[in-house]
C-alpha cells in the first residue's frame, strides 16, 4: 500500500468516527491521529487526559461521562489515553493526570489538573459556552 492510500484510509476512518459520534452522548475516544480533527470540528471540546492505571482518573471518569450527557450538543467531551498517545500528551505538556484541556474553536483556552468536583468543572466550562 502506498502512503497516499494509507492516508485516504485514515481520513475515511476519522470522517466515519466524527459522523458516528455527532449524536453520541458519551465522550469520544481521542488518539494522536484523531485529536486534531476532534478539536477542529467541534466548537467547544473538553479533553480528559488519563491513563488506565491512574486511580484519580478512574474517580474523574464518571463525572466526565455525566457531563457529556448533560452538555450534549453544547460541549464535546473526549478522552485521551496518555500512555497510548504520547505525541499529543507531549505537545500539550501533560505532566500530571488527570488533566482536562479545554479547546474553543480549536485553541487551548483552559486547563484543569487533578480530580475536581463536578460543580467546579461545570463553572469553568460555562465560561466558554
Active-site positions read: 54, 57
CA 58/CA 127 separation, integer angstroms: 26
User: Is CATH 3.40.30.10 the classification given to domain 3-126?
Assistant: yes
The structure's pTM equals 0.82
Q: How many Cα neighbours within 13 Å face the side chain of 39?
A: 20
User: Over pLDDT 90: what percentage of the chain?
Assistant: 81
- For residues 19 and 94, the model is more confident at 94
Amino acid at each position: 500500500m502506498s502512503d497516499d492510500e494509507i492516508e485516504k484510509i485514515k481520513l475515511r476512518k476519522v470522517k466515519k468516527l466524527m459522523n458516528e459520534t455527532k449524536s453520541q452522548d458519551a465522550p469520544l475516544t481521542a488518539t494522536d491521529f484523531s485529536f486534531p480533527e476532534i478539536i477542529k470540528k467541534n466548537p467547544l471540546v473538553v479533553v480528559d487526559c488519563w491513563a488506565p492505571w491512574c486511580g484519580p482518573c478512574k474517580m474523574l471518569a464518571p463525572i466526565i461521562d455525566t457531563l457529556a450527557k448533560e452538555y450534549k450538543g453544547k460541549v464535546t467531551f473526549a478522552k485521551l489515553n496518555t500512555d497510548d498517545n504520547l505525541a499529543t500528551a507531549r505537545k500539550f505538556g501533560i505532566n500530571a493526570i488527570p488533566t482536562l484541556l479545554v479547546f474553543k474553536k480549536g485553541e487551548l483556552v483552559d486547563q484543569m489538573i487533578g480530580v475536581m468536583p463536578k460543580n467546579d468543572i461545570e463553572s469553568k466550562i460555562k465560561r466558554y459556552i
